[in-house]
Structure 1
Amino acid sequence: MLNIDTSHPIYRPLWVRLLIVGFSAGWAILELVNHEIFWATLVGGVAVYSAYVLLFTFKPVPEKVEEPAAAPPDDV
């Protein structure tokens, strides 16, 4: 089964997610225009699934903030 790991940092920008969905939808349309119904259905399913996961249910993972290093103790 197709599984998209949405915790990967590549999926954080919206334009990347839109590009993935748009590319797969465009590919499905191209296959449909060329009367390749099987491939149009297959890639169209990928487009619908990726749109669902990457656009509708996407919840970005918060970035980890590094704590500053503790200052060494002062020897007085």
Structure 2
Amino acid sequence: MIKFIDPDHPFYRRLWVRLLIVGFCAIWTAVEFRQGENTWGMIFLAVTAYTACVLIIFFKPKTETPVDVKPDTPSEPS
């Protein structure tokens, strides 16, 4: 399945980035409806709903697993 927005990307980890993207889409939707462009308004309404669902409502960050982490081993006495 094609992902238009990959919520696992590190760019979307911060909440303020996700809120800013959804907010921008919502403002652009309002601009289109205000200008009387109902078709574009409906398109951006769908984009806003999609981004809100993916980035806010159903967002579940993956837990990071450290790479090359070795267990603590006591050093040999010299």
TM-score by length of 1: 0.83
Unpaired stretches in structure 2, ≥5 consecutive residues:
none
State the match for 2:4 in structure 1.
3
Unpaired stretches in structure 1, ≥5 consecutive residues:
none
**Aligned-residue RMSD, C-alpha:** 2.3
State the match for 1:61 in structure 2.
62
TM-score by length of 2: 0.81
Report the Cα distance in structure 1 between the residues aligned to 2:58 and 2:72, rounded to whole angstroms: 39
Q: Which whole-Å deviations, capped at 9, do the CAs of 1:28-59 have from their partners, x for residues lacking one? A: 00010000101111011100111011101000
Which amino acid is the alignment partner of residue 56 of structure 1? I
Structure 2 CA distance for partners of 1:11 and 1:28, relative to 1, 3 Å: same
